[in-house]
């Protein structure tokens, strides 16, 4: 696959769902990819990327942004509070707000820095013990807490369990977002972003289908 193939697939998914393609942002997930693959996608004109580690993103994006100043990066992996300041400086959005303590830290830093990236609350829709995110039952409370803190909360994010039908999880996330009056839905990856679009995804996170299999180490 390639960036063009994925854009075509995304346009078709939008058409099938009766949605305007401008409502769905394609996040090219560049974690662990060789720099030349990332550079090639930048050279093709793509400007929105996703990374799951603060340290890794800090090691490559400030350099890329010298050449491509309009390139934006979103954090899609877990965030430790001691990396929150660095994350707020690097990322245009943070998709992984998953606990009150992190929300409080982000709010304090937002006051200090005078800006805050767009935020998504991560919901562990499959209630998997090894996965980050609040449970569906805890989601409304964390949304309310973010709002009480004045944070720019734009939506919800989920990573469905690998062995389950993703559509059930996309539908659940859509329901939780709707009852909280949130429009943003960060869901769908290489294998299932078409389905996510049908359930209202506004941000699909596609890695291997654009860049090829991730090369370890």
Ligand X SMILES: *Cc1c(COP(=O)(O)O)cnc(C)c1O
The interface with ligand X within residues 25-44 (CB under 6 A) comprises 29, 31
Task: With CB under 6 A as the rule, give the number of residues binding ligand X.
Answer: 13
159 binds ligand X (CB under 6 A): yes
Joined tokens for residue 160: 């469905």
The interface with ligand X within residues 80-139 (CB under 6 A) comprises none
Measured from the CB atom, the residue of 29 and 41 that comes closer to ligand X is 29
Measured from the CB atom, the residue of 76 and 134 that comes closer to ligand X is 76
Joined tokens for residue 174: 């859509």
189 binds ligand X (CB under 6 A): yes
Contact segment (CB under 6 A) with ligand X among 11-19, 136-144, 160-168, 201-209 equals: 201-209
Measured from the CB atom, the residue of 120 and 153 that comes closer to ligand X is 120
Strand partners, 184: 155
Q: Which of 26, 57, 76, 182 binds ligand X (CB under 6 A)?
A: 76
Contact 26, 8 (CB under 8 A): no
Measured from the CB atom, the residue of 27 and 110 that comes closer to ligand X is 27
Report in angstroms how near the CB of residue 51 gets to ligand X at its nearest. 9
Report in angstroms how near the CB of residue 204 gets to ligand X at its nearest. 9
Contact residues for 200 (Cβ-Cβ < 8 A; gap 6+): 170, 174, 177, 185
Report in angstroms how near the CB of residue 155 gets to ligand X at its nearest. 14
Report in angstroms how near the CB of residue 42 gets to ligand X at its nearest. 18
Please, what sign has the CA dihedral across residues 155, 145, 29, 62?
positive
What SS3 class is residue 97? Answer: strand
Please choose, from the candidates 84, 113, 116, 115, the residue with its C-alpha nearest in 3D space to the C-alpha of residue 99. 84
Contact segment (CB under 6 A) with ligand X among 41-49, 97-105, 110-118, 206-214 equals: 206-214
**Cα separation, 92 vs 117, whole angstroms:** 5
Joined tokens for residue 90: 């690097």
190 binds ligand X (CB under 6 A): yes
2 binds ligand X (CB under 6 A): no
Please choose, from the candidates 88, 81, 77, the residue with its C-alpha nearest in 3D space to the C-alpha of residue 104. 81
Report in angstroms how near the CB of residue 182 gets to ligand X at its nearest. 18
| Distances from the Cα of 124 to the Cα of 108, 134, 144, angstroms | 25, 6, 17
Residue 145 CA to its chain's centroid (Å): 20
Under the rule (CB under 6 A), what is the footprint of ligand X?
A: 29, 31, 52, 76-77, 159, 189-190, 205-209
């Amino acid at each position: 696959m390639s960036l063009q193939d994925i854009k075509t697939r995304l346009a078709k998914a939008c058409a099938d769902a009766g949605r305007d393609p401008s409502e769905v942002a394609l996040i090219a997930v560049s974690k662990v990819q060789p720099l030349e693959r990332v550079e090639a996608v930048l050279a093709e004109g793509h400007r929105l990327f996703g990374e799951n580690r603060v340290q890794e993103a800090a090691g490559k994006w400030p350099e890329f942004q010298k050449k491509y100043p309009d390139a934006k990066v979103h954090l899609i992996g877990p965030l430790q509070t001691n990396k929150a300041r660095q994350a707020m400086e690097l990322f245009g959005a943070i998709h992984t707000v998953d606990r009150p303590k992190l929300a409080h830290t982000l709010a304090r830093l937002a006051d200090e820095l005078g800006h805050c990236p767009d935020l998504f609350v991560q919901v562990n829709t499959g209630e998997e013990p090894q996965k980050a995110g609040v449970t569906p039952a805890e989601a409304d409370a964390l949304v309310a807490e973010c709002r009480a803190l004045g944070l720019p909360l734009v939506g919800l994010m989920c990573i469905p369990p690998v062995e389950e039908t993703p559509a059930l999880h996309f539908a659940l996330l859509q329901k939780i977002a709707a009852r909280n009056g949130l429009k943003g839905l960060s869901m769908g990856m290489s294998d299932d972003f078409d389905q996510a679009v049908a359930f209202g995804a506004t941000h699909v996170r596609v890695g291997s289908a654009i860049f090829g299999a991730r090369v370890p180490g």
